[in-house]
Amino acid sequence: MTFYRRRLPHWQPDGQDIFITWRLYGSLPRTIPPPKVNSSPGEAFVHYDHILDVARTGPLWLKDPRIAEFILSSLKNAHDRKLFHLRAYAMMANHVHVLLAPIVPLARLTQLVKGATARQSNLILSRTGTRFWQDESFDHWVRNPAEWQKIRSYIERNPVAAGLVARAEDWPWSSASHPIE
């Protein structure tokens, strides 16, 4: 098992799928209500994810189809290059959820994907030299098949829960509408 710590702990057990969420730099408001006292890490994640889902201000660059398409292309390219096996994904206006089976170390994987997508996205937006992604990502290793199904459903239904579409299949930047081959 690989482990490293930045602000959050990051575990990568061999042979386990990982749920990863990364967000745009500055996407959480400076003042936000904290999660309920004694919230589990999962409940705290859902709390912050909801805040991201309903954001109408701050960086919302992933709404730009050119950027969303480039990020999707980068994920599929990394899948094809055997850096990971992509299982599910959803791109929201200010964050990305992925469920994958890593083949390379998690730190390298996120560095490669986030680095390439940040550079190109900033070029598209004419904002080169500025931060695009928040430095650290949230990740959670999947413990069993029931949790795997729950996470996949959570990812693919996130656009529905955020009120962006009525059916998961209608969101153009999700594995619900574009299954992984």
Which whole-number Å values give the CA distances from 148 to 87, 98, 99, in the listed order?
10, 12, 9
Identify the pLDDT of residue 10: 57
Q: Which residue carries 């829960």 as its tokens? A: 161
Identify the pLDDT of residue 6: 59
Identify the pLDDT of residue 35: 85
Per DSSP (E only), the strands in 8-162 are: 9-12, 18-23, 84-91, 95-102, 138-141
- Are 155 and 99 in contact by the 8 Å Cβ rule? The answer is yes
Identify the pLDDT of residue 4: 56
pTM beyond 0.85, yes or no: yes
Grouped pLDDT means (10 residues each) for the chain, 181 residues: 60 81 90 84 84 89 95 94 95 96 88 93 92 89 95 96 95 91 70
